[in-house]
Amino acid sequence: MAARPDLLRKGRPSGEVATASVVAESATASQAHETPLPKASPAASKANTSARQAKPGDVAPAVNPRLAAAQEAVSQARTLWNTGSREAALDAVRQAVAVAERAQASTPDPSALPAFQTLVRELARMDLALGQVSQLLEQLVRLEPLLADQADLWAVRGNAAQRLGQHQESVHAYGMALKLRPGEPRWMLASAVSLALQGQLAAAAEQAEKARAAGPVSPEVLAYLRQLGVSLR
C-alpha cells in the first residue's frame, strides 16, 4: 500500500521540485530549492582583491577537474531545464553522473565525491519532478557506496521507496538518514508513515511522538497516522 498521494504532495505549487514529500524531508540543500553548485576553493574561484597582490612566483591552487566538470554539467542542465527542455536536462545530468561514476570507479578520489554527490542531488531533483521515481530509487541503491555518508540522500531514497509502496526499504533508508543526522522530525514522521503502512503501529507511534518532541510536524500527517490506527497522544 503506498502512502496517500494527497498527503505526500499537498500544498506544493505547480512545477515546484521537491525531493521529498510533506512527510519526508526537504533533503539536499533544502530540497524545495535547487541544489547549490559545489564550490571550488576561494583562491581557485576568484582573486582576493582585498588581500595582498599576487606575486610573480605565486601559483594558484589547481581546480579539481571533476569538480569543474560537475559544475559545468549542472549549470548546463539547469539552463536546459529552465528553458523548458526538461527531458534533455535530465538526460544531460544522467550522462554526467555516469561519467563521474566511471571516473570514481577507475580512479577513486575522495576530494571529488562532493561534486559527484551534487550531480546525484540534481538528478534526484529532476527525476522526482518528472515522476521518474523508480529509476531514481534504482540509481540511489546502486550508488550507495558513494553516497553512504549523505543523510539527505538517504532521506531522498526513503521518500522514493515510500512513493513506490516499498515501505520496508523506506524505513531502512530513513533510519540510516537519522543515524547520520539525528533529530530531524520530518524524517521521523516519514518513517512512522511507512511503519504504520506495514502494520507496525506501536513502532509508528513511537516514531511519531519522537518527531513531535523534536520539532514542528504536519498535522495532516498526524491525522493520517490516526486514520491508519496509530494511537497518538
Compute the residue count for the chain: 233
Structure-block grid coordinates of residue 203: 513502532
Residue 15 DSSP SS3: coil
Please state, in angstroms and rounded to a whole number, the distance separating the CA atoms of residues 154 and 175: 9
In this prediction the pTM is 0.76
How would residue 10 be classed by pLDDT, with cut points 50, 70 and 90? Answer: very low
94: DSSP letter? H
Place of cell 530540497: 31
Percent of the chain with pLDDT strictly greater than 70: 73
CATH number of 5-12+19-28+64-227: 1.25.40.10
165-176 burial, b if ≥16 CB within 10 A, otherwise e? ebbebbbbbbeb
Annotated domain spans of the chain? 5-12+19-28+64-227
The reported pLDDT for the residue numbered 100 is: 94
Query: Who's near 164: CB < 8 A, 6+ residues apart?
Result: 2, 133, 134, 137
How would residue 30 be classed by pLDDT, with cut points 50, 70 and 90? Answer: very low
